[in-house]
Structures are given as structure tokens and as C-alpha cells.
Structure 1
Amino acid sequence: MKSEFVLICSALLWITDGFLSNFTGICSPGLTDESVGESVRVSVDLSRLVHRVDPRFLSVTIDASLASEEKFMYLLSALKVRTLARALTPAFLRFGGTRQDFMVFTPQYDRLSTFNAERSCEELQLPSWLEEKLKKDWTQQQSVLMREDLQRKYKRLKFTEFTVDLLHSFTNCSGMDLIFGLNALLRTADNSWNSSNARTLMQYCESRQYNMSWELGNEPNSFEKKAGIRVDGYQLGLDFTRLREMMSESKLYQNAGLYGPDVGQPRDHRVDLLEGFLQSGADAVDACTWHHYYVNGRDTSLEDFLDPEVFDTLTLKTNEVLEKVKLASPGKSVWLGETSSAYGGGALGLSDTFVAGFMWLDKLGLAARLGLDVVMRQVFVGSGSYHLVDENLDPLPDYWLSLLYKRLVGPEVLKIEAFSLGRSKRVRLYLHCANRKSYRDGAVTLISMNLSKKPARICVPASSSTVEAFVLQSEQPGEEGLYSRSVRLNGETLKMVDDETLPDLKGVRLPAAEHLQLPAYSLAFFVLTEAQAAACRTLH
């Protein structure tokens, strides 16, 4: 039997037979007025899990464009970048993107001795003078990359051991798990994958004992537009099978991860491509990956970034992919192998500002609830407008949001239903067990966001638990603040103390109350520290 209590905002009624496993908050209609946007009641089942995601659920990417000139890879040795990356662990770091399919490994064997992987992470730090020069040059390089993207004219890029060394050093020193994207556009006369260059790269990585996982190709549905080469799904699956066979011949990589096919979100022939891939390649991969963006970065608007209907399109696309994978390979893990707000490099003035956090946090909540196991954010550092770290290597609002998610949210997903007394549906809620590294067993974290210009109210079981509140708002009130590249946590602007020190992310302990307040245009994590959720207790 379930234990249950009903909270009415003016009175508390208990019905209990052992332990709390379900609560329902009901907001009295009398509480709504012109100054309050939505009042929301919630129904929650704390007795069982909906889904359990990978501990590295929130992961990040570095776009292969960073290696368009190899010198820019040295930015990954900057102390600030490594500090920021380390704080997001555990996580995967995917190195890939459009330009991975134009990259050719060109070893320079005479330079092998110049990089000593055994040197400490402190010794491998980037000198400040070089960091400043690279940041300045990178700003100019982004203009070159943007022109290439607009014209869809991509040059073949040669990379050496240095790119691999610097990537591995970055992930090794930050504690992330590297996934390296291989070039799938190297084809033979019969249009099968030419694996010789990948073999050379893999042999080098094995000689250095670099632990990493692998991918093959980026968005194969766009190969024809990018390079005039068409590869159907079935052939792609055979290519992955060939890569898996190659990995099995390696002592180091025979048990390493292989992920793919990194198709774009379902539309037209992309579904056929995924189906064909699953027929021949499902057994080769450890997880099936696909990419998702809500809107086109070149013609989107602020309204799109706050539109619940835009957010809900993720459900349709995700369920379509999950259904295809389940039919072909039951039990196969499904990941968002690359994702952000807007494709085309992001939306200028939106994807790197406070308002982007609504899309990002909702994607994390919805993806976990729907059954995806990993979500890889495009991009940690690099080109475009959707990065977590800016051109000065300082953290942007979505970085701080991601960091709070890592600290407060556990991998266990709980069931929550929200019932609004209004009709706008601009209060979005998700529920997880709290991160057990930060909170005791049985604590839960309510992920909340208010997309409205008016404050909102959520009814909660006030007497059952103290609450730690972490409320993120822009530095400026109202719509203007949505364009800000800064964010406040409980009223304090977040910024690094120095290049190797992050600020304390402290919650505010709330007194017992009948509801939680969500300010206008805010994102929040409410940790119910004594919820005693049965599903969140460790079994001894």
C-alpha cells in the first residue's frame, strides 16, 4: 500500500500507514491573484524509480573545430579551463562534430619525445602570455570557421600526435572520460569505410596507453550536403562492425566503449538511416546516439527560448528514437550524443545568455524522465554561441546551472505530475533523488523553472522536510535580464574566485512553509533534505 498525505494550502491532512511514499500538494484557488503567475500543485510517487541515468548523465563536447589549427588545442591546458572541467565530473568529453569527418591523422614521429605524458598536470599548465595570444587568435579563427559553415565548404584538416596528447592530458587531468570521433568520410572504392587512418591513430594511442572510447562519423544524414558522399544506414552499421572488430584486436581497446551513429534528430530519411544502422550495427555499439536542437540559430527568437511548446517537441523526437532502438535492440542504451538550444552554432545573443538556461535545464529534466542515459552538451569550450565557457575562458550562465545540477541532482528519476491552476504551463518541474555525495539517503531534489514574467507558487509538504533552496536569476529584473551573461545564486553573482577556485554554492535554508516561491524568469533546485523517499534509500 502507498502512504499518502494531501496538503491543502490552508490546512494539512495526514493519511499514513508506515512511511511516506506519495504526496500531493493542492493549491487553493483563493491563493491566486494578479501578482502571482501560476499556482501549481504536485503529485509525486517517492516509492519507486522511473529511470536511473548514467552517473555521467550531464556530459560535454569539444567541437573538432578547435583543432582547425592545432595550436588552439593548447587552450585546453589553461588552468581556468581545467578547473571548470574538473568540477563537472563525472562526465564524458566527446571530441567530434562536423570537422571530425575532414580530419586526417598525420603523425610526425620525430616529435614524439617532445610531449611527456608522465609530467604532472601542474607542469602542463599553459603560460599566461600564450593563453592571451591564443584567445585573441581564436576570436579571429571563429570568423573563418563561421564562413566555412555558411558556405558548407570544408577543407581537409591534418592533425598530429599533439592534438591527441593535449586532449588526453585535458581529460586525464580533469577526470573526464574521453570519446574520440573518427572520420567516417574516408571511403574505399566500394563506399565502405577505409579504416587505415583510424588504425594508425589507434596504434599511436595504444602505444601511449591512452584510455578512451570511440565514435565514427558525425551526423551521417548530412554527409551528402557536406561532402557529396551518401552512406546508407546499413553500410554505416557494417562500418561500425568493422571498427568494433579492429578494437577487439587491441588489448587496450577490446573492452572500450563504441558509440554511434550520431544521427540528426528524426526527420525524413534520418529515421530510415537509423533503422538501417540498427539492422547491421546495433550489436557493435554500447549506446545508440542521436543529436537534438530545438531551433535554427539564424532565425529563432527570445520567445522560442521561453515557449513550453518548443520544449515539448523533445518528447516526440525522443520517443521516436527510443521506439526504433527498442524494436531493433531491446535494452540498448540511448544517448543524446550532441545537443544544445539552436543548431548552426547557436543563436547569437541568446544561446550563451541567461535565457538559454530554461531550454538546457528542461532538456536535462525531460531527457532523464523519458529514458535517455547521457546528454552531451555542445559545447564546453570552442566555436559558436552555445558554449559553457566564453572567449575569455570564463563560465557562462549555463555552466553554473550545469555545476549546480551536478552537485544537487542524483541519477535516480522520480515520478512527478504538476497541475496548474492557470493555463500557460510556464512552470516546469522534475524530481530526482538528491546527489548522495551531498545529501543523506532519502533526500530529493525538485528541479524547477518559471518561464513567466510573474512569480509562481508551488505547493509542497511543508511539515515533512526542511528545504534548501538554490534559486538562479539574472542580474537584471524583467525581460532585459534574459540577455545577461551573468547569473545570481540566491542574490549573489557567481564568478570564479581565481583561476583554480570556484565560489561556494550555498543554498538558503527555508523555514517550514506551505509553498515554494519561484520568482519571475527563474531556475531553481529545491532539496527536500528529510523527504525520506523510499526509492532514494540505499539498500543495506
Structure 2
Amino acid sequence: MKSIPVLLLLPVLFSATEGVHNPDLNQTSSEDLDLTVVLDLSSLVRRVDLRFLSVTVDASLASEEKFMFLLGSSKLRMLSRALTPSFLRFGGTRQDFMVFTPQRSLQQDSGSSAALTCDKLELPPWLEERLKKEWTHQQVLLMREDLRRKYRRVKFTENTVDMLHSFTNCSGMDLIFGLNALLRTADNVWNGSNAGSLLQYCESRGYRMSWELGNEPNSYEKKAGIRVDGYQLGQDFTRLREMMSQSKLYHDAGLFGPDVGQPRDRRTDILQGFLQSGAEAVDAVTWHHYYVNGRDTSLEDFLDPEVLDTLIWKTNEVLETVKLASPEKSVWLGETSSAFGGGAVGLSDTFVAGFMWLDKLGLAAKLGLDVVMRQVLVGSGTYHLVDENLDPLPDYWLSVLYKRLVGPEVLNIEGLHNFSRRKRVRLYLHCAHRQRYRRGAVTLISMNLSHRAVRVSLPARLSSSTVEAFVLQSEQPGEEGLYSRSVTLNTEVLKMVDDQTLPDLKGARLPPSDHLQLPAYSLAFFVFIDAAASACF
């Protein structure tokens, strides 16, 4: 194994483009920071799922079934296609208050899922505008429910399932449907009859999909006055797996769970009990993670390396718990974002949220998680990837670039700093995406959480390579820009060309050089096209 030391002298955003000399590129500053890193291009740390970056649609969208028709937006479908391959998880707090209430007979609905084609799915513009306005008011009502922790039962029909399946099918995503685990008998055993009706309907339509059961069982007592221990939950999942095994369509379908909340006070009681009785029923173990409480967090929290590093010990705790019970079982972040409680107003949908999001992707891949599901594509809250007009927010652009530039193969990179706030520069290394770049290319994921800029000096192995640079910044300088809902790529503001067209998202092609530059408060991807990393062939 060969390690390559890299000196990272951390000042000014390069803005060079192919064939254009940037006079500032070789200038240094008296305030430059130094960072030495060690990287290894000869072996992989691990490989994640191709659908590693995945998304969710919150079950709150079905609080009134008419809002599910927002998934008929051709604009939203186009934006979703840019995030594939991925899972789309339909779930959240309200999934455990949803009851399938069919309105049609199975005879009426038997046949192919092609009955609702992608063309038929498209939502008329006038209806889309009306639903978006009404959804704004609906979110206020949903927030009140969350504050009071009093949730009403929601009845959904075939329309909800049809819209979900058609949306994922036409977007190229793989649907995971979250079932209600709070439908229970007098003996506190899961009553699967309603789920059985739903599975029967979906099978009659030929809907290929995966399943979950319940959302954050550790909070059932708080939100519903029902306590379910982990061992019983595992038995409930085993029952669901038995039901699936009796289906011609779903006997080999994915089942994921238990979607427990993150470990608190270092307790994993429910997860441990679940693994004793239900580990064999699931294809992957899922848990949820948020860094902070959205109601009392701050800008400083979003930039605090110690807050970001809490993901490390929480992830390691879950991985160790799973390894003891089921060593080969895959572990996923089944729901995650910056702040719980629906997000942090004025922060979770702004530029600064990208530091938590990109760092989570880098850490999760390196630590051992195979899939990370971002809360939320659409649904209630303030941690969306798209805004109330279905226009992309900063984390959407960040996610699309990740999908295009970063491959599933994780490489090792470590930093040795000589300045005090050392963890404010965060680096991750992957093989570059093979559908876009030649074998052997690598992508350096970089974050500068500091108000000071950085010059990155490269070793000969990388300095001889042509580089494509993708540097994301706020369109406003300094801390004020961190609150912005806009983002620039290599100094150009990112926005859709029209409702059906994304911009090119081109990198700045840089000639071989012994250094690069990383601006203050920036997120960047550097693709070393000619790195010839042996681990990436």
C-alpha cells in the first residue's frame, strides 16, 4: 500500500477555465493555512450501493390525498430523474397513522401498471399552481399537529399508491413504501390485515416495490401512547416477511427497517431487541439521524466540526450493534437531514445546510453505511431539496453534482493540520463516476467551513493530471451569504433554463498544476482525470 503526502496550503477561489490564464491562481496570501494529507490510490476502503444518495417523499403529502397529485408535476419528475439511480422512500411520522381504504374492486384494477402512463401522470399547469398554493396552507396545519403531537388517522386510496408508483417509475427511482406499524391487536401484536390488502392491490397492478414497517418506533409512546419493544417489533417484521413470501411478486422484494431514531444517551435498546428476533427478516437495517433540534439551533451549529463529528460515534454505535447480531447485514440511513423537528427555519434550506449534507455523504460512505436517504424531496418541513415552487435549492444542486461526479468506490484520505481549527477543512476521496470519466480518475470532495481561504498543493501524481473543478459558493460573500437560497458553480448562479431543463453544470477545466485553491465557505469537487489510481480500474 502506497501513501502519498499532499500539502494543502489553505486562499482565493480560482476561477480559471480551459484555455484562460487566471492571474490570481499562483498568488499566495500571508494568511494561508497549511494542511498535510495522506491518501492512498492503490486500494479501496469500501464500496457503497449505486443508489447511495437517495431521497424521501414525506408521508405528510398524503395528509389530504389531493396533494399526492403534485407528484404529477413534469418539472418535479425531471428534477428527480437527475438524482437517479436512487431509492425513493415514502414514509415518516404520518405513515403510522395511514390506513389503506380501497375504493375499487380488484377486478377493476387487475392488469399492468402501464395503465397510468408517464404521459397520463402529467399534471395540468393550472392544477399544479393551485395545489402548490394550498400545500403552503396545509403545511401550517401539519406543523400544529407536530407541535401538539396529536395526529389524526389518514385514509388513503388506490390513488396515493398509483401516483407514487407512477412517479418513481417515470423518474427511474426504486420505491420503498412505509407501512403502518401502529395497527395493533389487543395483545400489542401488529395487525397485518390492512397491509395485506395493500400488498394484494399492488400485486394486482404489477407494482414492483420494496417495503418498510413503521417509523421511529422509539417515539411511539410519545406520539401515540403505545409502547412496542424491539423484540416484538422484530416479530412483527418476521410476520410481514412471511406475508411477502406468500406473494408471487413480493416474495423476493426488499424489506427494510426498523427505522429507529438515532442512539440517545448511548442506548440502542430497541435496535438490539429488534435484531434478536427480526434481523433475518430485513435486507438492510435502517436508522435515522439528525444533527440538531430545528427549533433552537444556529448558524454556528451548521459550521461546527464537533457537531458534524457526532455522526461518527452514532454511526459506529449502530454498526457495532448490528455487527454483533448480524455481521453481514447492510446498514442504511433510512431518513436523515440537518435538523429534526421539520428542519431549522432559515437554515435547513439555505446554502449553509450543504456543509452538513456533503459531510454526511462523505462520512457515511467512509464509515460503513451503504445508503443515505435525504429527508426530503417534497413534504412538510424546511429541509427540502426543492422549494415551494418546485425550484432547486442549494442542496439539490449539490446532490446532482455528487451523483454525476462521485463513484461508489471509497478511497482513504487523512489530514494532518498545523492550524488550530483543524477540522474546518474536510476532505473525502472516491473514484470518479465511471459513466462520466475514464477508469483511474478520482474525485476529491472538499469543504472549507472557515472564513479563510485555502491553497491546495498537490503531489506529482495528481499535479500532472488535468483537473475539472466544481466549486460551489453562495452568490453573496461572507457569513451573510450562508443564509442564501441561491448557489453559484464556479461563480455562475445556478438556475434552471426552463421548467424542463437543467443547466450544463460544467466544471472549470484546469491544466496540470502543483496547486488548486479553495475559497472560504465553499464546497468543491475536484476530478483528477489522469490520476490513474490503480484502485479505480
* TM-score (normalizing by structure 1): 0.93
Equivalences for 1:121-520 in 2 at 5 Å? Answer: 121-268=118-265, 271-424=268-421, 425-461=423-459, 462-520=462-520
Q: Distance in 2 between matches of 1:379 and 1:180?
A: 15
Q: What does the per-residue CA deviation read over 1:424-471, in whole Å, with 9 as the maximum and x for residues that have no partner?
A: 121100000000011000000000010011111222225331111000
Q: Aligned partner of 2:371: which letter?
A: V
SS at 2:386 equivalent: coil
CA distance in 2, matches of 1:124, 1:296: 37
CA contact (8 A) 1:263 1:270 kept: no
Deviation at 1:270, TM superposition (A): 5.2
Q: What's the CA shift string for 1:293-336, capped at 9, x where partnerless?
A: 00000000000000000000000000000000000001100000
Which 10-residue stretch deviates more, 266-275 or 416-425? 266-275
- Kindly provide the amino acid, as one letter, of the partner of residue 536 in structure 1: C
SS in 2 for 1:123: helix
Q: Is the 8 A contact 2:331 2:370 kept in 1?
A: yes
Between 380-389 and 396-405, the greater mean CA deviation after superposition: 380-389
- Could you tell me which residue of structure 2 aligns to residue 74 of structure 1? 69
**Conservation of the 8 A alpha-carbon contact between 1:102 and 1:183:** yes
Deviation at 1:113, TM superposition (A): 6.2
How far the C-alpha of 1:33 sits from its partner, in A, is 5.1
Percent identical among aligned pairs is: 76
1:394 match: secondary structure: coil
Distance 1:123 1:274 in 2: 42
Assess if the C-alpha contact under 8 Å between 1:41 and 1:459 holds in 2: no
1:108 matched to 2:89: no
In structure 2, C-alpha distance between the alignment counterparts of 1:512 and 1:129, rounded to whole Å? 52
Shift of 1:419: 1.6
Contact 2:45-2:411 within 8 A present in 1 as well: yes
What per-residue deviation string (whole Å, max 9, x for no partner) do you get for residues 241-299 of structure 1? 00000000000000000000000001258501100000000000000000000000000
Deviates more, 1:276-285 or 1:456-465: 456-465
Amino acid at match of 1:189: A
| AA matched with 1:491 | T
Farther off after superposition, 415-424 or 482-491:
415-424
**Equivalent residue in structure 2 for 1:84, among 76, 79, 82:** 79
Matched AA of 1:463: S
Aligned to 1:49: 44
Letter of the structure 1 residue corresponding to residue 313 of structure 2: L
Contact 2:113 2:207 in 1 (8 A): no
Q: TM-score, normalising length from structure 2?
A: 0.94
**Alignment-mate amino acid for residue 214 of structure 1:** W
- SS of equivalent to 1:318: helix
Comparing 509-518 with 369-378, greater Cα deviation is found at: 509-518
Matched residues in 2 for 1:417 and 1:237: separation? Answer: 39
Name the SS for the 1:288 alignment partner: strand
State the alpha-carbon separation in 2 of the partners of residues 198 and 28 from structure 1: 57
Whole-Å Cα distance in 2 between the matches of residues 265 and 233 of structure 1?
14
CA distance in 1, matches of 2:114, 2:166: 7
Q: Is the 8 A contact 1:264 1:270 kept in 2?
A: no
Q: Cα offset for 1:510?
A: 1.4
| Cα offsets for 1:378-422 (capped at 9, x unmatched) | 001121000101110001000000000000000000000112221
Q: Is the alpha carbon distance of 1:22 and 1:532 closer, same or farther for their aligned partners in structure 2, counting shifts above 3 Å?
A: farther
Deviation at 1:513, TM superposition (A): 2.2
Deviations 1:93-121 (A, max 9, x none): 00000000000000001695699743431
Please give the secondary structure, in 2, of the residue aligned with 1:66.
Answer: helix
Q: Paired residues, what number? A: 516
SS in 2 for 1:485: coil
RMSD: 1.7
CA deviation map 1:99-152 (0-9, x unaligned): 000000000016956997434312321000000000000000000000000000
Residues 48/230 of structure 1: CA separation in 2 closer, same or farther (3 Å cut)? same
8 A contact 1:475–1:488 mirrored in 2: yes
Amino acid at match of 1:331: E
Change (3 A) 1:81 1:345: same
Q: Is the CA contact (8 Å cut-off) linking 1:261 and 1:289 kept in structure 2?
A: yes
CA distance in 2, matches of 1:110, 1:217: 27
| Residues 147 and 458 of structure 1: CA distance in aligned 2, closer, same or farther (over 3 Å) | same
**Which residue of structure 1 aligns with residue 58 of structure 2?**
63
Is 2:16 aligned against 1:35? no
1:528 partnered with 2:528: yes
Give the Cα separation in 1 of the matches to 2:249 and 2:7.
56
How far apart are residue 189 of structure 1 and its match?
Answer: 1.1
Q: Do the aligned partners of 2:9 and 2:35 also contact (CA within 8 Å) in 1? A: no
1:509-539 deviations in Å (ceiling 9; x for gaps): 11222222110100000000011111100xx
Partner-residue secondary structure (3-state), 2:288: strand
User: Is structure 2 residue 90 aligned with structure 1 residue 95?
Assistant: yes
- Contact 1:41-1:458 within 8 A present in 2 as well: no
Change (3 A) 1:28 1:221: closer
Residue type of the alignment partner of 2:487: V
Paired residue secondary structure (2:351): coil
Structure 1 counterpart SS, 2:120: coil
**Aligned AA (1:316):** W
Q: Distance in 1 between matches of 2:345 and 2:413?
A: 34
